[in-house]
Amino acid sequence: MFEHRDTRTGKLSIRYHWRGTDYTKREMRHLKMLRVPGMLRGLGPVQAARLTFEGALEMRDYGAKWLGEAQAPDGVLTTEQELAPGQAEQYRNVWYGRNADGSPREGALNTSERLRVLGKGLKYEPLTLKPEDVQFLATQEFNTLDIARLIGAPPSLLLVAVSGSSQSYQNVEQEWIGYTRFTLMKPLREMEEAFTELLPRGQTCRFTLEVLLRSDTKTRYEGHRLAIEAGWMDADEVRAIEGLPPLTDEQRAAIDAAAATRTPTPRKQPRNDRPHPRPDPVSGLCPHHHPRARDAHHSGRYHRLRGAHDGLPQDRDRGRGAAPPPALEPRQAAH
């Protein structure tokens, strides 16, 4: 891409050079991520946050140099006596197996031998600097989180966790949904619109984001089942989402045969533990239909009434000419 000035009109325009051919702005689709006024090209996250990325690289190199080249001293020789000028250097040379003047000593100890003999009044104190003491790990974690913040990616994508937060499958899934919705959707929409304008009329371009938003197997299959039952998707569309070929005629016939022989699951009837009310022994009516029997039933007297008539001699002798018990008077309707 370059700026072209017309020799006749002096108008400045933008041209694109691709494989030996120059194209105008109308013939080329140029998509930019971060638009800066006065710049022909857009900026990506790496170019826009160059200092942050350079600082992370310098911190990595500094840590490797610190730990690899032994910049930190191994220890300290201390004494309560006053040292003469140059005496500290002599002690140091002797400690590392050299002569007092620093020249190599014949028959010196091997560097792998760690045992040293100290003179009177000398004390050796090892000096160990842990990565936590120099905040090396904390700085590395901050740089990683800072990079994730700049590119709009969840920390789990860069294999780092925010301190104080718990990582679970549900949290990671929600982070991926947010990453797709708030970070990827904007550039993807611009690319979809650009490709749609280049396609023939009536055709559109859409990115398939189901792979990024894919959940666990059970939840995914439940969603497919609901879509098929609702009628807005069929089995072949579901198989296409799962990366499977369409069903063949033999597979469809086998599925239909299995569905025809499958025994439907019976519905559970509501359980009613209450016994069915017995008819009144005098009137022969159910307590829910006979007025007086119903009143007696609801007031608790029906059970006593039934118990009083059960097993009476007139009930047993009714077929032998015994006098029937008096019938209950129907209740007068209130006006």
- Please give the pLDDT value at position 169: 64
Residue 302 CB contacts under 8 Å (≥ 6 apart), including other chains: 277, 280, 287, 293, 296
- Inter-residue long-range contacts of 192-197, CB under 8 Å, 24+ positions, other chains counted: 194/29, 194/31, 197/29
Q: Is residue 298 part of a domain?
A: yes
Q: Is residue 186 part of a domain?
A: yes
The CA dihedral of 218, 221, 225, 228, to the nearest 10 degrees, is 170
Distance of CA 277 to the CA centre of its chain: 58
Q: Is residue 67 part of a domain?
A: no
Q: What is the pLDDT of residues 116-161, one digit of tens each?
A: 666 667 787 776 666 555 566 777 788 888 888 888 888 888 888 7
Angle, helices 291-299 vs 301-309, to 10°: value is 110
Residue 301 CB contacts under 8 Å (≥ 6 apart), including other chains: 295
Task: Tell me the percentage of the chain whose pLDDT exceeds 70.
Answer: 64
- The burial class, CB within 10 Å (0-12 / 13-18 / 19+), for 98 is middle
Residues 306, 312, 313, CA angle at the centre, nearest 5°?
Answer: 160
Burial letters for 285-312: b for 16+ Cβ neighbours within 10 Å, e otherwise? eebeebbbbbebbeeeebeebbeeeeee
Both tokens assigned to 314: 């007139």
Q: Is residue 330 part of a domain?
A: no
Both tokens assigned to 299: 């007031």
- Residue 166 phi/psi, 5-degree rounding, is -105, 135
- Please give the pLDDT value at position 302: 46
- The burial class, CB within 10 Å (0-12 / 13-18 / 19+), for 329 is exposed
Q: What is the pLDDT of residues 34-68, one digit of tens each?
A: 888 877 788 888 887 887 788 888 877 877 776 66
- Please give the pLDDT value at position 56: 80
- Tell whether 210 and 180 lie within a shared domain: yes
- Please give the pLDDT value at position 290: 55
Q: Comparing C-alpha atoms, which of 232, 230, 237, 235 is closest to residue 256?
A: 235
Q: Is residue 196 part of a domain?
A: yes
Q: Is residue 289 part of a domain?
A: yes
- Tell whether 234 and 206 lie within a shared domain: no
Q: Is residue 32 part of a domain?
A: yes
Domain count, the chain: 4
Tell me which residues of the chain have a pLDDT lower than 50: 112, 293, 297, 301-319, 332-335
SS (H, E, C) 222-264: HHHHHHHHHCCCCHHHHHHHCCCCCCCHHHHHHHHHHHHHCCC
Domain that holds residue 175: 168-214
Q: Is residue 99 part of a domain?
A: no
pTM of structure: 0.46
Pairing relationship of beta strands 21-23 and 75-79 according to DSSP bridges: unpaired
